[in-house]
Chains A and B, each alone.
Chain A
Amino acid sequence: MFKKVLGQAFGLGDSDPNEKSPQERAKAVQGSSSAEEAALLLCAPTALMQLSPEEARIVVGYMQPTKIEEGRTFIREGDKDHTDHMLLVLSGEVTVETITVSRVSPVTVTVLGAGSLIGEMGLLDGEPRSASCTASTAVRAAVLTRAGLEVLMVEQPMVAAKLLLAVSLRIAQRQRDTADKLKLYTQLVAAMQQEIDRLMPT
Chain B
Amino acid sequence: MLKQIQQFFQNSVGTESVPPPEASKQARPQGGIAVGTRESELACEHLCDSALFAPMSRSEAELAATYFVTQRYRRGAILIPEGDTQLTHYLLLILEGEVTAETVLSDASRSITLTVIEAGGVLGEMSFLDGQPRSATCRAEAEVLCAALSREALLLMTSQAPEVAAKLMMLVALRMAQRLRNHTTRIQRYSQLFETMQQPLP
Contact = CB atoms under 8 A, between A and B. Distances in A.
Chain A interface category by residue count: 35 or more
Interface stretch (A13-21, A34-42, A177-185): A177-185
A195 interface: no
A130 B184 contact: yes
Interface in B149-202: 158-159, 162-163, 165-167, 169-170, 172-174, 176-181, 183-184, 186-188, 190-195
Nearest to B163: A157
Contacts of B103: 183, 186-187
B105 A191 contact: yes
A191 B6 CA distance: 41
Given A120-B177, A158-B162, 11 more contacts: A50-B5, A125-B178, A157-B166, A158-B15, A161-B169, A168-B129, A179-B135, A180-B135, A183-B136, A185-B186, A187-B106
A153 to B, nearest CB: 5
Contact of B190 (A157, A168, A189, A191): A189
Interface residues of B, number: 55
Nearest to B195: A102
B154 to A, nearest CB: 8
A164 B169 contact: yes
Interface stretch (A22-30, A51-59, A64-72): A51-59
Sort A-B residue pairs by CB-CB distance and give the 3 closest, nearest first: A164-B169, A157-B162, A158-B162
Given A50-B9, A161-B169, A164-B169, A124 B179 contact: no
Interface of B: 5-6, 8-10, 12-16, 51, 53-54, 103, 105-107, 112, 114, 125-126, 129-130, 132, 135-136, 158-159, 162-163, 165-167, 169-170, 172-174, 176-181, 183-184, 186-188, 190-195
Contacts of B16: 158
Contacts of A55: 13
Residue with the greatest number of chain B CB neighbours at <10 A, chosen from A51, A55, A185: A185
Contacts of B192: 100-103
Given A158-B15, A171-B173, A182 B183 contact: yes
B162 A175 contact: no
Interface in A89-121: 98, 100-103, 120-121
B105 A190 contact: yes
Interface of A: 49-52, 54-55, 98, 100-103, 120-121, 124-127, 130, 146, 150, 153-154, 157-158, 160-162, 164-165, 167-169, 171-176, 178-183, 185-191
